[in-house]
Structure formats: C-alpha cells, structure tokens
Amino acid sequence: MKKIGVFCASSDKMEHTYYDAAYSLGKWIGGSGFTLVYGGANCGLMESVARGTKEGGGTVYGVVPQKLVRSGRVSDCIDITFYCNDLSDRKQYLVDESDILIVLPGSVGTLDEAFCALAANTFGMHEKKVIFWNIDGFYDLLFQFLDTLEGRGVLNKPWSELLYKVNTLEEIKEICEK
C-alpha cells in the first residue's frame, strides 16, 4: 500500500476550484487503496483532501503539531494521529512516512515542506517523487523562478529532474500508479 504525502494550504479563503481539486485527489487516494499522510488540520485544502480520502474509503494519517491540538484545529477525518512538537518534526515525519509527495497550492508552509523534500532528494537522502499539481497555473511563477536559477547555474541538475510538474489529476494518477 502506497502512502501519499500531501502538502497544501490550510487557508479557507481560496477559490473553490482548489478545494474541489483537493477533494478529488483525496477521493482518488482513498478509492485506490492508498493512504493519505498530511498535516492534520481541519481547514483549507488539508480538510478537503482528508475528507475526500475518507469518503473514498481510504486511511488518513494526520501529523499533528501540538499547536493544532491547543487551538482545536485537528481534523475529525484522521484515522491514525502522529503528534509532533513543531513544524520541523512534522515535515520530517511527512517525508519519512510517504512514498510519494504531492504539492497542492499553498503558502509559505507548503513551499517550506516541498523544498525541504526537494533538498533532501537533491542530497540523495531519498528518491521519492515530488509532484507539483499546477492547478490553474498556480505555480507558474515558481517554475519561472526555477528556470532562472537553472539559467544562472545555481542548480546542480535541471529542476525538471527534481520534480514532476503536472496540470491534471490524470497525470498524478499515471505517476503514482507506476
């Protein structure tokens, strides 16, 4: 059984398209017999992907920092809870427990998690696939910046070898089912 880690926004202020996409991803994860590993919050895209996974019949691992517990922001969709002290612990656990990592739209925390996973891959600490779902061009500017880094000789290998850039759930399915 593959465990799919998802990094995504906890914001409740985004376009509905993103919540629908996160739910669809979760529904596919659950229906495919995979396990979701995610940050455990009951808001934003996090809750959408967890709810989709549960409704699809899947198992949900929530990696929950103590701050979420204290603020009452832990999702009811979680089957197995892993408590951690802070965001560094959370990131490490998400990467360690996941076989594949998917990055949905998100803010600073999502990018922090994604780039930590990419850096670990670059250093040879793991060889896990990191998939950026570029829903409605959300990450276009990020990819342009990566082109700039590559063009200036900062990257040791092309960024296209570090991550998968996808635009559809179908592309995610193809990568994950290999």
> What CA dihedral angle connects 17, 10, 122 and 100, to 10 degrees?
-70
**CATH number, domain with residue 136:** 3.40.50.450
Task: Indicate whether 47 belongs to any domain.
Answer: yes
Q: Is the dihedral of CA 35, 38, 40, 42 positive or negative?
A: negative
Q: What is the largest CA-CA distance in the chain?
A: 46
Residue with tokens 């979760």: 26
Mean pLDDT by runs of 10 across the 178 residues of the chain is: 94 96 98 96 97 97 94 96 92 94 97 94 89 97 95 89 95 92
For residue 1, the model assigns a pLDDT of: 66
Task: Indicate whether 178 belongs to any domain.
Answer: no
CA–CA distance, 36 with 62 (Å, rounded to integer): 8
Q: How far apart are the first and last CA of the chain?
A: 13
Task: Indicate whether 102 belongs to any domain.
Answer: yes
Q: 0.85 cut: is pTM over it? A: yes
Are 117 and 93 in contact, with CB atoms under 8 Å apart? no
β-bridge mates for residue 37, sequence order: 5, 61
Other Cβ atoms less than 10 A from the Cβ of 120: the count is 18
Pick from 44, 50, 43: nearest CA to 25: 50
- Per the structure, how many domains does the chain have? 1
For residue 156, the model assigns a pLDDT of: 84
Q: Which domain holds residue 105?
A: 3-173
Task: Indicate whether 23 belongs to any domain.
Answer: yes
Task: Indicate whether 61 belongs to any domain.
Answer: yes
